[in-house]
Structure 1
Amino acid sequence: MLALTGIVAVVAFLVFLEVPPLLKKRQIRELWVFSLLLIMGTGISIALSLHIVIPNPIDWINYIYSPVGRFIENALRISR
């Protein structure tokens, strides 16, 4: 629970620090990008603090390319 409180406090501080200048300069695109990245980072941080397993993209790449790798390995194997 302490971790969640810390995450929310840091997010609130970042919003307090970054959003007013973006609004003052009317940088709407930058505000959208900032918000999107902040929401994604906050979600991942909360998930990690709750010990939720987050899938690793490298595992997906290995799953997709391992059959291709085995095929190439077998095709290039030199018979003795």
Structure 2
Amino acid sequence: MGFSVGMLLLAVLFVTVELPPLIREKQFYPSVIYFILLTIGSILLVLHGLDVKIPNPLDLVSYLFEPISTSILNLFK
């Protein structure tokens, strides 16, 4: 639990250091992208720290492309 709290505090520190200059320079699109990516990364890091099983994205890719691969292999047999 301490790991998760520490990572959230570190994410808040990053936001307080990096976000104000972006907003001050009126770079709203990069600041939104920065905030979204930092939020996603923080959520994944906290879930990993709490030992929540996070699915591997490569499993989805292999699931989607397996029928295509099989049909191409059958075509060349």
Q: One fold, TM greater than 0.5?
A: yes
Percent sequence identity over aligned pairs: 27
Alignment TM-score, normalising by the size of structure 1: 0.81
Comparing both chains, which one has the higher relative contact order based on Cα–Cα distances under 8 Å and sequence gaps of 6 or more?
2
User: Equivalent residue of 1:29, what SS?
Assistant: helix
For structure 1, which runs of at least 5 residues remain unmatched after alignment? none
User: 2:15 matched to which residue of 1?
Assistant: 15
User: 1:26 matched to which residue of 2?
Assistant: 26
Deviation (angstroms), 1:25: 1.3
Counterpart amino acid of residue 11 in structure 2: V
List aligned pairs for 1:60-75, cutoff 5 A. Answer: 60-75=60-75
C-alpha distance 42-72 of structure 1, shift in aligned 2 (>3 A): same
Count of residue pairs the alignment pairs up = 77
* Structure with larger Rg: 1
Deviation (angstroms), 1:72: 2.5
User: 1:46 matched to which residue of 2?
Assistant: 46
User: Equivalent residue of 1:55, what SS?
Assistant: coil
Deviating beyond 3 angstroms after TM superposition, the runs of 4 or more aligned structure 1 residues are none
RMSD of equivalent CA atoms: 1.4
For structure 2, which runs of at least 5 residues remain unmatched after alignment? none
User: How many Å separate the matches in 1 of 2:14 and 2:34?
Assistant: 10
Deviation (angstroms), 1:12: 1.4
User: How many Å separate the matches in 2 of 1:61 and 1:23?
Assistant: 37
